[in-house]
Amino acid sequence: MPGPGDRGGVKAKPKDTRGALRRIIRYLMAYRYLVLFFLVCAFLSNIGNLMGPRFAGKAIGAAAAGAGKVDFAAVGRYALLMLIAYVGSNVMNFLVNFGMMRVGRRVAQNMRRDVFDKLMKLPVGYFDRNQAGDIISRVSYDIDVVSTSLSSDVIQILTSTVTVAGSFAMMCIISPPLVLCMLFTIPASILFTRHMSKKTRPRYARRSAAYGEMNGFAEEMFTGQKTVLAYAHEDAVCEQFSAINRAAAEAYRDADGLGMTMGPTIGMINNFGLAAIGMGGAALYLLNIVGLEQISSFILYSRKFSGPINEISNIINEIFSALAAAERVFQLLDQPEEIADLYGAETLADCKGHVQAEGLDFGYLPGKTVLHDLNLEARPGETIAIVGPTGAGKTTIINLLMRFYDPERGAVLVDEKDIREYTRESLRRSYAMVLQDTWLFRGTIYDNIAYGKENATMDEVVAAAKAARIHNYIMRLPEGYNTVISEDGGNISKGQKQLLTIARAMLYNNNMLILDEATSNVDTATERQVQKAIRSLMKGRTCFVIAHRLSTIQNADRILVIDHGDVVEQGSHESLMARKGFYYKLYASQFS
């Protein structure tokens, strides 16, 4: 199964880590005063942490003065100051952690808003090329990874840097000779971290891509669960998922397994430094160059110094993971939107419904033309039926009429004007659509029928439902029009869902109508009733009807027969039957 990278998703290696970091910082700038306040709090917290070892060393020095010379008052004073420093530091640290968690969640909220707004502006082609599960993974999982990193890692790495710098400064003040004992650990830690970062960064990008692929596959299988069960394909699906899950687990292991070696290795390097400090301190103490006070403070500061280096090495892994996730999100945000309306584009108002297609060439992929030199005309109030074998290009014509795609050559005209001269919104609002793929959302039946018309009254919704022959069924439900249906109408039958979408179209007042296999999910008896309602709906409107049941389009004003992207025949039902050509064979295959 192709992964996200094969279907327009993320590639294996990050492209612009610095760019992703800059854009995350741009989101943080919306809360710059809060972040600045927490940075100050983090700095004060670190000052308290850094003062603690100094007071501890002073207390040890006062206690080690010798028998009868111990200054208990000084010991108590330094111990109290140490306690105040650590308590104050922890209070500040709690405030910082809680505050940055709030900031991280707000940034995630803003990113999700931007991503969702972007998705509403992307062309249909983007959704044709990318798995829904991979898109959902970017909206949920990847943004959560970024949010978690912002909540803890950003402040942590800054405070750790302050702690390292402060500890190093204090060690230099206490005993420069002892600093020499641990200097080798600093370049060793830096070089090792840089080496490992180059190895872990692409692995985290692959991990995000693998999770996107797994989510995409799971979403597809859950959506088609009934088909899987109907074909007893469970074992094969489980095997496919196991392979994808194994690949995701291996990607996770490769990234986190390698990343987890950084902390222990840095810790081992620092422990060598601590051993060197112990031996060097002992020698300097015997030479009376340093005292116990300096040695004890220095050791405590050395732990303060090495601890954050360990933390930074671990945090760097999390930051790389967050940057890889952020890149996937920003890749989506950088996708080209639908081509903007022309400057001065008109609003299509009072549409008469005169539709023409002139010399249309179109292909979804470069070099693969689906429609060839297509010409058609639908005068106001005419019904144009489009028939042909599967894959002939029928739905592609509808996509061009609605301007989901623009043709490579030729033009579509509405009321004698190129549709590119109208705003997309007004063009699409001029059509009502009933598709083979019925779409309902979680909400009441009233909300679903009234979806296309703002401020629709209950009387209007009821009238539309009656016309679609669904009113009696609705009234048998426990709460009538206020009955809540599940997402995608999973708790009602396919036929009832189709009737609800027909009622939705009936409520939508416009002059053009598209019916794409609008009665494919209803039984023959119900179809006769719905056909009466549809004929009433079609009166006075320009209609485009895609149908495989040729009995439903016999009354069309003109029938276009499409095969391999070409109009091979067109005319009325009677004239096409008399010709005994392609249409005649299609019709005969259904009624022979």
Contact 326, 316 (CB under 8 A): no
In this prediction, residue 413 carries a pLDDT of 92
Average pLDDT value for the chain: 78
- Alpha helices, DSSP H, located in 287-333: 292-333
**Residue partners of 332: CB distance under 8 A and separation at least 6:** 115, 118, 119, 135, 138
Cα torsion 220, 226, 230, 235 to 10°: value is 50
251-278: average pLDDT: 72
Whether residue 262 is predicted with pLDDT greater than 70 in this model: the reply is no
Cα torsion 365, 366, 370, 376 to 10°: value is 120
User: Residue 295: which of 276, 307, 281 has the closest Cα?
Assistant: 281
Helix then strand then coil, in percent of the chain rounded to 5, is 65, 10, 25
Q: Which residue has the higher pLDDT, 395 or 300?
A: 395
**pLDDT digits 0-9 by tens, 154-190:** 777 777 777 777 778 877 877 777 777 766 676 777 6
Q: Half-sphere exposure (CA, 13 Å, Cβ side) for 205?
A: 22
> Is 434 in a helix, a strand, or coil?
strand
In this prediction, residue 65 carries a pLDDT of 57
Residue 1 has what DSSP assignment? -
> According to the per-residue pLDDT averaged within each range, which of 32-36, 199-203, 220-224, 277-281 is highest?
32-36
426-438: average pLDDT: 81
**Residue partners of 483: CB distance under 8 A and separation at least 6:** 444, 445, 474, 477
Contact 171, 280 (CB under 8 A): no
* Rounded distance between C-alpha atoms, residue 308 and residue 316, angstroms: 12
Instruction: Place 68 in a pLDDT band, splitting at 50, 70 and 90.
Output: low
**CB atoms < 10 A from the CB of 128, how many?**
13
**Taking the mean position of all CA atoms in its chain, how far away is CA 260?**
28
Structure token pair of residue 97: 């952690």
Q: What is the 3-state secondary structure (H, E, C) of 489-526?
A: HCCCCHHHHHHHHHHHHHHCCCCEEEEECCCCCCCHHH
Backbone angles phi, psi at 189, to 5 degrees: -65, -45
Q: Half-sphere exposure (CA, 13 Å, Cβ side) for 80?
A: 6
Q: Which domains does the chain have, with CATH numbers?
A: 4-333 (1.20.1560.10), 355-591 (3.40.50.300)
Instruction: Place 209 in a pLDDT band, splitting at 50, 70 and 90.
Output: confident
Residue 139 has what DSSP assignment? I
319-347: average pLDDT: 85
**pLDDT digits 0-9 by tens, 79-123:** 888 888 888 888 888 888 888 888 888 888 899 899 888 888 888
Residue tagged 């707000």 (tokens): 106
* Rounded distance between C-alpha atoms, residue 517 and residue 520, angstroms: 5
In this prediction, residue 288 carries a pLDDT of 72
User: Residue 205: which of 118, 270, 145, 132 has the closest Cα?
Assistant: 145
> According to the per-residue pLDDT averaged within each range, which of 8-12, 375-379, 497-501, 516-520 is highest?
375-379
Beta strands of 231-279 (E only): which ranges?
A: none
In this prediction, residue 14 carries a pLDDT of 46
Contact 312, 158 (CB under 8 A): no
In this prediction, residue 490 carries a pLDDT of 58
Q: Which of 23-27, 125-129, 201-205, 474-478 has the lowest mean pLDDT?
A: 201-205
Whether residue 398 is predicted with pLDDT greater than 70 in this model: the reply is yes
Whether residue 8 is predicted with pLDDT greater than 50 in this model: the reply is no
> Is 70 in a helix, a strand, or coil?
coil
133-148: average pLDDT: 82
- 559 φψ region: left (φ > 0), alpha (ψ -120 to 50), beta (else): beta
Q: Which residue has the higher pLDDT, 264 or 564?
A: 564
- Alpha helices, DSSP H, located in 175-233: 176-182, 185-223, 225-230
**Residue partners of 74: CB distance under 8 A and separation at least 6:** 58, 59, 62
Structure token pair of residue 525: 């008896």
* Rounded distance between C-alpha atoms, residue 313 and residue 290, angstroms: 32
Q: Which of 417-421, 436-440, 511-515, 585-589 has the lowest mean pLDDT?
A: 436-440
Residue tagged 């996107």 (tokens): 212
Residue tagged 């400057």 (tokens): 343
> In the chain, what is the greatest distance between 2 CA atoms, to the nearest angstrom?
125
> Is 10 in a helix, a strand, or coil?
coil
407-420: average pLDDT: 90
Strand 542-546, strand 512-516: pairing: parallel
Contact 155, 39 (CB under 8 A): yes
Whether residue 6 is predicted with pLDDT greater than 70 in this model: the reply is no
* Rounded distance between C-alpha atoms, residue 566 and residue 361, angstroms: 10
In this prediction, residue 412 carries a pLDDT of 92
Q: Is pTM, for the whole model, over 0.75?
A: no
